Amino acid sequence: MAGEMKPDGSYQRGHLERALTYVRDFSLAIDGGAHVGTWTKPMCAVFARVLAVEPSADTFEALTANVLVFGGANVTLHHAALGDTVGWVSMAPLDPRAAALHNTGARFVRPGGTIPLLRIDDWQLPSCGFIKLDIEGSEPLALEGARETLRRCQPIVLFENKGFWRHRYHQLIDAPQRVLASVGYRELDIVGKDVIWGPR
């Protein structure tokens, strides 16, 4: 990650800043696929609360340490994965190309294991203004598990659109967009591989 970060420690800061121009509720944000906290840090500076979710054990350890360093007292950490059901998962090994790049963020979840699989809806959040999902193909599943939250709280959603859900989870290529459109959302913006959606 160090090689991808800017001197101030930020990563894809412009993507977050673009999404924040659409946010109206700064009470709570969800950082799905928080990795080592590169998005969590700026998010906790503008939202009253941040729920940072990261399934990889070693990455979660780094996230926990980093949150302590940057003083994220308003961050709640979840060593878990997000999906459309409750259960248990494990991390798939890195493919050779990602391993050669030491890209630990490229790991994705598979059924069975010791890592909790959670649904956003089960948190029954009273409010939520922003959901960021960079979860290596689980984006449509996490959105399925957040339908009621999307309808009730109408958060702005940013998700990474690399289409990994198609070959990793046998989802349609436009699966995230279909979920969001079905709850009354529309595409607002695109920044690189990140797509921003919000209520119509």
- Whole-angstrom Cα distance, residue 24 to residue 17? 13
CATH of the domain spanning 2-187: 3.40.50.150
**pTM for the structure as a whole:** 0.90
- pLDDT, one tens digit per residue, over 20-47 is 999 999 999 999 999 999 999 999 999 9
The domain spans of the chain are 2-187
How many other β-carbons are positioned within 10 Å of the β-carbon of residue 97? 9
Alpha helices per DSSP H over 103-192: 139-144, 147-153, 164-168, 175-182
**Per-residue model confidence as pLDDT tens digits over 44-95:** 999 999 999 999 999 999 999 999 999 999 999 999 999 999 999 999 976 6
